[in-house]
Structures are given as C-alpha cells and as structure tokens.
Chain A
Amino acid sequence: MAGRARGRGRGQMTFNVEAVGIAKGDALPPPTLQPSPLFPPLEHRAAPLPGGEEGEYMLALKQELRGAMKGLPYFVKPGAPRRDIERYSDKYQVSSPVDSAIDWNPDWRRLPRELKIRVRRLRKGREWTTILIPKCKQRVALDKDEAIKKLESLEKKEEEVTSEEEEEKEEEEEGKEEEEEEYDEEEHEEETDYIMSYFDNGEDFGADSDDNMDEAVY
C-alpha cells in the first residue's frame, strides 16, 4: 500500500500519520536496503571506566584467575597431534597428557559410576584411591536406539563377573607404566645439562621473521 500511490505525492499509510507526528509535506526517510553497518559511527563517546584501587585489584584478580585456571588439571587439553616421526626431543618436550586418564582425583562416590576413569599418578608412591576399569571403550561406535537399556544391564553383569580379573590386569599394566613413569620423572627432575626453556627443536625455523639476525636467538 505504501508504494502504490506514488504518483499522488508521498505514499499513503493505513493510519493518520499526523497522529505520530509526521506533518503534511514532510519527507519520509528513504527505505533501508542493507543491514546496519558493523561499526556504526559513535555519536557519543563512552564514559571512562571507573579506575581506583578496587578496579585495579579486580583487574589483577581477573587476569591471575585466567592464568591460574589454565594451569589447573580441570583445564582439559586436547591430545597433542601425532608426530610423523619420533624425535629425540619428544622425550624432553613438556607435552600435555593425552590418554585416557584424569589428572586430578575426584570423589568418585559423588559421581555417576559411568564416568569413572583411571586416575593418573603424579608422583611415585602416591596412593591409588581407586583402580578402575576403563569400560565402554568398544561401545562408542554402536548405534544407540533401545540397545541402551540392554547395554546398561549387560554392563552391570560384566562388572560383577569380570571386575576382579580386570583389576589384576590393570595392576600389571600399572607395574609396567610405573617403570616408564619412573624413568621419565628422573629425567625431568634431575638437573639436565639443558634448560628446557632454552630448548628449541627447530620446528619454528623459518617461521620467525628475519628482522634481528645479528642477535642471538635462545
């Protein structure tokens, strides 16, 4: 309706435009043909941020918290990408834990049983609170539908029957891993001749800019 009577002056509306304040003869703004701009010009500047001691302290707190949380075991890092070739330096790289173990010790009594995972030991001699079976590894790919119920009941049966056997198997595995872990820990905790932060395995070679060629690169 609005555009039809263009010949007779301005477009006509279904209601009396004077009621909303458009006087006779006023030009209506042109129609909008595109979405509003991404960064529209600011008519008024934003008020300055409140500074002061409280603001400063909260800022420091916020940034510290962010940093702290990245270092806690709750920050679940994705597995490191598989290297094409095994390198000598891999032993010395501080890589994030990849496998099916959790790095902190939840109170399993408070959690659903289906969530239990092996707890990774961080130090030698630290006591195992639970040795648990990584269940369901084979079941991920299965199609769901009503088989869920069936699986739950099968699981219960399996658990009761085979828990002992699997515990023994786990302990054997643990024994082997302990040796490996021992080895790694000694390597890491001993003072090696090389300081880790200095070590550069050359993978970034060429990626850096060539600006400061005359300065030593550590």
Chain B
Amino acid sequence: MGLGRAWHHRLHPSAVRMTQAEIKLCSLLLQEHFGEIVEKIGTYLIRTGTQPLRIIVNDTGLLLDQVKKALCVLIQHNLVTYQVQKRGFVEYEAQCKRVLRILRYPRYIYTAKTLYNDTGELIVEELLLNGKMTMSAVVRKVADRLTETMEDGKTMDYADVSNTFVRLADTHFVQRCPQVPETPETPEAPPPPAPTLVINEKDMYIVPRLNLVGKGKRRRSCDEDENGERKAKKQKQDGESSEPPPDDGIYWQVNIDRFHQHFRDQGIVSAVANRMDQTSSEIVRTMLRMSEVTTTSSAPHTQPLSSNEIFRSLPAGYNIGKQVLDQYLTLLADDPLEFVGKSGDSGGGMYTVNLHKALASLATATLESIVEERFGSRCARIFRLLLRKKHLEQKQVEDFAMIPAKEAKDMLYKMLSENFVSLQEIPKTPDHAPSRTFYLYTVNVPASARMLLHRCYKSVANLMERRQYETKENKRLLEKSQRVEAILASMQATGAEETQLQEIEEMITAPERQQLETLKRNVNKIDASETQVDETIFVLESFIESTVKRP
C-alpha cells in the first residue's frame, strides 16, 4: 500500500453522514433489484465516497468488466454520478439517498396511475425500470404494452401515448436529463475522458417536436406463422434500429421531487380534512394546486394568494359563496396548527400555506402516534403534554397528566431510554450543583424525528431480510410450484383434458399447498409493511429536510 493510495481510503465527508442502517438498506435494495455485483460496487462507493475506476476494481476484488458493467447500470439508473477531475481522471460517486428511493417506486407508479391512468402508469414504470429513455422509445414500448392488454384487433395509437407523455412533462412529473453538449468548443482538442452533461433549467420540461406515428404491436405467441412473422419482425426491428431516432440524445427521467411534492400536498390536504372538514381541505387543495409551479420544493410557504384568486380557482363542483370562503380562510388561518397563514389584506385577504409548519405538524403527529402504539395511551398523554408545555419537571408531569407519581416516572424513563423525550438541566446556581439544578423533561422534535427515521431504515432492512429468508427457506417448493404452473399453462394451451390437468395439479400435495399459502401470506404482509414504513420515512425525511437551513 503506497502513500499514493492512502487518501482514497480516508472516509469521504459525505460517506460519514450515512449511517450503518442506511448503508445496509441501500445494500439490500441494490442486491434485490440489480444483483450482487452491482450491489457490491454500489455499497463500496457509498461507504468510501468518491473513487476512480481502478481503485474500485482493486478494492472490490471484482473483474474489470464486471465493475464497468455495474457502473454503467448504476449511472443509467441515476444512482451513481461521475466527474472528471482536474488531473484528467474520472471519479464516481454514489447517491445514497437516491438508492433508498427504490423502495418508493411502486408509490410513484401508482400515483401516476391515479393522475394519468394506465398510460401514465406505464410511462412512469418504463422510465423507472430503465433509468432514462428517449420519448420515442417510451412511447413505442408503452404502446406495445398497452396493446397486449387490449382485445384482439385493437391497438394503442402512438399519438395517445404521446399526449399523456406531454402532460406528464407539462406538470413536471417527468423531466429531461442533462445532455451531452452539442459541439465541442475546440474540435481539434482530444475528447475529454468523460462528457460534462448540462441542461438549462428552462429546457427541462420542453418536449421535442416529434411526429410519432404508429400503433402498438402485439407480441405473437410461438405458433403458426412463426417463420414468416419472424422475418418480417426482424426486418422491422432492423429498420427501426438502423436510423437514429428523431429525438436522439434527448433522454427523460422521472422527477421524483415532483412526486414528493405531490405526496406532501396529499398529506397536508388529508390532515386538514381530518382536523376540520371536507370543504376546508378542498380550499387548501386549491391553494396548493395554484402554487404547484410557482413554489420551489424547499420553500417554507407558498406564494401569497388573494381570496379573490382562490375563489375563482375553486373546482367546478364547489358552490360556496365568496363570504363563506372568507370565513373558512379565517378559520384556517386562526387554527393553532397554522397550516394556513394570513399575510396581508389586499384582494380580500392574502393567504399562504405554511409548508414547513405543516411538515412539522405531520411529523409530530407521526411521533405521537408511534408513542401511543408503542407505549400506550397514558404515555401518549404525557408525550402530548410535553409537546404543548415544552419543559416540565417530574412533579409537574404527574400533576398535569393526572397520573400517579410511580407510573409517571416509569413512563418517562421508558420514553427517555428510547430517546423520545430528553432531560434538560437548568442550574439554579453558578456552580451547577446537582441538588440545586432543575431537571426538565422535554421533547426535541427534530432529534426524535432523526432517531425514529434511523429506526425506520433498520425496520425496512429487517423486513427485507426476513422476507428473503422466508423465500429462501421455501425455495425448492417455490420452484416446484413454478414448474407445475408452467406445465399446466402449456398443457392448457395445447388443449389437454381435465383429468390430465388434475393429475398435474395433484403433484403439489395438500400440505405443500398449505405451506405455499402461508408463505404467500407472510411475504405479502412483509411487503405491505415495507411500503407502510416507507410512508413514515417520507414524512420524517421531508420534515428533517425542511429544518436544514439552506444557504
């Protein structure tokens, strides 16, 4: 080990910020979706920070070609970025936070479905599965997939898919990737070891003018006209791939920040609906919708909107009078949770949605809910008391919560030991003598949120490991079951008799069927739990991010 390599082994500052729990979870996600080789390299980069290719090969012990393949995959999926250093070599850096987002892919896809139906759903799904694609490639693929699901004879038109794509771009749910610059400034100079990709903010959502004409194609099953079909299909494929597509070099990716903004807005609207009523929540939803493209993702509150503007923008079905609207707005602004704030009197009253305060409320509600579920409702009462009163002595907690001393003490210590509450010392005298010091219980919301977030990462990692273990334990049975399914399917296709089919089905015994049922139930439960924990991760991360002061 020469001196020259030592500095690469020092932990990179960004790597230090990643906890073991996050690294473990990233590792599991990479392994499950990209395999062990990509996982090894991804995890290595997350742990050690930015590295050049040769160091990666050396330290991971993998073959050069394996490392190259893995890096290509990771870069394609926006999980690793590269940078050309001044000395002329390229360094690669993993994006740990982005790896964690793999857990949220189903939520992004489902959201696209609710907003833009099956077409939107498949567009987002293809972009997530492939990392980045040209619009023409997405349209073609999605048209084919949709055609598969349609009745015989019907096909999906490219134009319909294009329209949905344009809508996704207009509302910023998909965005253009940074591009290779068009012409090098000095054509005579040798090409750089890696391109520096750039994009103009204003170009990020501009859809290229394409004339995509065509319809989706159905995949034929291998039967009759196989030979004739195959030749024709191959010719078509050759034709398609021999010319560069009209939007060559213009790639698109999912804009996950926009989805997060949508989730946040959903959370706020839902909270208002629970706390107040449907009409209040619709007003807030309208305000958020009006602010979608005018508010940056990290803004503490939306741009002020006048009551008149809000009135004009209410959805068509809502027939509330202007005065009623004003009353609702006043109520919302007066609510102690401060989701809505009044910032002026012009235009009938200027109102904003206090995004950061709302995120804090959502996070706090999450904390309360967890305390309630983990420790019981009396602990939850103490917790809420501390949130309201900020600092309380032991005796005060007993009195305000109306809980006997012994039990209150027990509960406080339990919450203290798990870092939901903390003790603060207030000395009465300058010598900080213990007998003359106040010991106050308090809840530090950002600290507790961080602690809980860390637990969430661990939980998901545990869930994934257990799920993989369950699947592995039953591997043989699962494979047998899959083989039987395959046999049944092919037999049904060739028109086998009922008795023959039953014979095959009976290859799986009743106890085995039971085992498979149990396995399926367990795996489903664990999968659903992972999704559930990711919802909590989203709330806590959004809140913590909002507390970090940006320069």
Q: Could you tell me which A residues sit within 8 Å of B by CB distance?
A: 13-16, 19-23, 43-44, 46-47, 49-50, 54-55, 57-59, 61-63, 65-66, 68-69, 72, 74-78, 99-100, 102, 106-107, 109-117, 123-127, 134, 136-137, 139-140, 143-146, 148-149, 152, 156, 195, 197-198, 208, 212, 215-216, 218
A78 and B483 contacting across the interface, CB-CB below 8 Å: no
B551 adjacent to chain A (CB < 8 Å): no
B486 adjacent to chain A (CB < 8 Å): yes
B487 adjacent to chain A (CB < 8 Å): yes
What's the least CB distance linking A37 to chain B, in Å? 15
* Alpha-carbon distance A198/B484, docked complex (angstroms): 10
B34 adjacent to chain A (CB < 8 Å): yes
B72 and A15 contacting across the interface, CB-CB below 8 Å: no
* Alpha-carbon distance A58/B107, docked complex (angstroms): 7
Contacts of B393 in A (CB 8 A): 19
A212 and B88 contacting across the interface, CB-CB below 8 Å: no
B82 and A112 contacting across the interface, CB-CB below 8 Å: yes
A127 and B251 contacting across the interface, CB-CB below 8 Å: no
B531 and A59 contacting across the interface, CB-CB below 8 Å: yes
Contacts of A116 in B (CB 8 A): 68
B64 and A137 contacting across the interface, CB-CB below 8 Å: yes
Known A59-B527, A123-B234; judge A144-B58 contact (CB<8 A): yes
Closest to A153 in B: B88
Contacts of A68 in B (CB 8 A): 129
Known A49-B525, A74-B73, A77-B35; judge A100-B434 contact (CB<8 A): no
B532 and A49 contacting across the interface, CB-CB below 8 Å: yes
B435 and A16 contacting across the interface, CB-CB below 8 Å: yes
Specify which of B54, B128, B530 is in contact with A148 (CB 8 Å cutoff): B54
B70 adjacent to chain A (CB < 8 Å): yes
* Alpha-carbon distance A88/B531, docked complex (angstroms): 46
Specify which of A15, A58, A140 is in contact with B434 (CB 8 Å cutoff): A15
A76 and B32 contacting across the interface, CB-CB below 8 Å: no
* Alpha-carbon distance A54/B72, docked complex (angstroms): 35
Contacts of B529 in A (CB 8 A): 49
B510 adjacent to chain A (CB < 8 Å): no
* Alpha-carbon distance A117/B73, docked complex (angstroms): 12
Contacts of B206 in A (CB 8 A): none
B344 adjacent to chain A (CB < 8 Å): no
Binds A, one of B235-243, B291-299, B539-547: B235-243
Contacts of A21 in B (CB 8 A): 394-395, 405, 408-409, 412
What's the least CB distance linking A143 to chain B, in Å? 7
Closest to A74 in B: B73
- Bitwise, B166-191 to A at CB < 8 A (1) or not (0) is 00000000000000100000000011
B105 and A65 contacting across the interface, CB-CB below 8 Å: yes
What's the least CB distance linking A49 to chain B, in Å? 5
Closest to A197 in B: B486
B439 adjacent to chain A (CB < 8 Å): yes
Query: B39-81: which have CB < 8 Å to A?
Result: 52-55, 57-58, 63-66, 68-73, 75-77
Closest to B87 in A: A149
Contacts of A75 in B (CB 8 A): 33-35, 38
A44 and B4 contacting across the interface, CB-CB below 8 Å: no
A62 and B490 contacting across the interface, CB-CB below 8 Å: no
What's the least CB distance linking A186 to chain B, in Å? 12
What's the least CB distance linking A76 to chain B, in Å? 5
* Alpha-carbon distance A115/B89, docked complex (angstroms): 12
Specify which of B33, B66, B234, B490 is in contact with A125 (CB 8 Å cutoff): B234
B437 adjacent to chain A (CB < 8 Å): yes
Closest to B369 in A: A47
What's the least CB distance linking B262 to chain A, in Å? 15
> Which 9 A/B pairs are nearest by Cβ-Cβ distance?
A15-B434, A112-B194, A145-B4, A100-B65, A21-B394, A16-B435, A61-B106, A145-B2, A21-B409
Closest to B3 in A: A145
Contacts of A22 in B (CB 8 A): 409
Contacts of A19 in B (CB 8 A): 393-394, 434-435, 437-439
Specify which of A61, A72, A106 is in contact with B110 (CB 8 Å cutoff): A61
A76 and B34 contacting across the interface, CB-CB below 8 Å: yes
Closest to B241 in A: A127
* Alpha-carbon distance A65/B105, docked complex (angstroms): 9
* Alpha-carbon distance A44/B369, docked complex (angstroms): 13
Specify which of A46, A55, A76, A215 is in contact with B38 (CB 8 Å cutoff): A76
Contacts of A100 in B (CB 8 A): 63, 65
A149 and B88 contacting across the interface, CB-CB below 8 Å: yes
What's the least CB distance linking B5 to chain A, in Å? 6
What's the least CB distance linking A177 to chain B, in Å? 16
Specify which of B55, B72, B438, B507 is in contact with A111 (CB 8 Å cutoff): B72
Closest to A51 in B: B528
Contacts of A63 in B (CB 8 A): 527
Known A76-B38, A144-B5, A145-B4; judge A110-B373 contact (CB<8 A): no
A66 and B38 contacting across the interface, CB-CB below 8 Å: no
What's the least CB distance linking B376 to chain A, in Å? 6
New contact pairs (4) apart from A59-B531, A137-B64, CB-CB < 8 Å = A59-B524, A109-B195, A117-B65, A152-B193
B478 adjacent to chain A (CB < 8 Å): no
What's the least CB distance linking A33 to chain B, in Å? 16
Listed A/B pairs (23) with beta-carbon separation below 8 Å: A14-B434, A19-B437, A19-B438, A44-B375, A44-B376, A54-B110, A59-B528, A61-B109, A63-B527, A69-B34, A74-B38, A76-B37, A76-B69, A100-B63, A110-B197, A111-B72, A113-B191, A115-B53, A127-B238, A144-B55, A145-B5, A212-B509, A216-B507
Contacts of A50 in B (CB 8 A): 532
B439 and A20 contacting across the interface, CB-CB below 8 Å: yes
Contacts of B509 in A (CB 8 A): 212
Specify which of A113, A117, A195 is in contact with B193 (CB 8 Å cutoff): A113
Specify which of A114, A146, A215 is in contact with B53 (CB 8 Å cutoff): A114
A113 and B2 contacting across the interface, CB-CB below 8 Å: no
- Bitwise, B398-442 to A at CB < 8 A (1) or not (0) is 000000010011001000000000010000000000110111000
B77 and A126 contacting across the interface, CB-CB below 8 Å: no
* Alpha-carbon distance A146/B2, docked complex (angstroms): 9
- Bitwise, B496-525 to A at CB < 8 A (1) or not (0) is 000000000001010000000000000011
Contacts of B315 in A (CB 8 A): none
* Alpha-carbon distance A114/B85, docked complex (angstroms): 14
What's the least CB distance linking A208 to chain B, in Å? 8
Specify which of B64, B88, B194, B251 is in contact with A107 (CB 8 Å cutoff): B251
Specify which of B373, B395, B408, B409 is in contact with A46 (CB 8 Å cutoff): B373
What's the least CB distance linking A188 to chain B, in Å? 12
Known A44-B373, A109-B195, A152-B88; judge A20-B394 contact (CB<8 A): yes
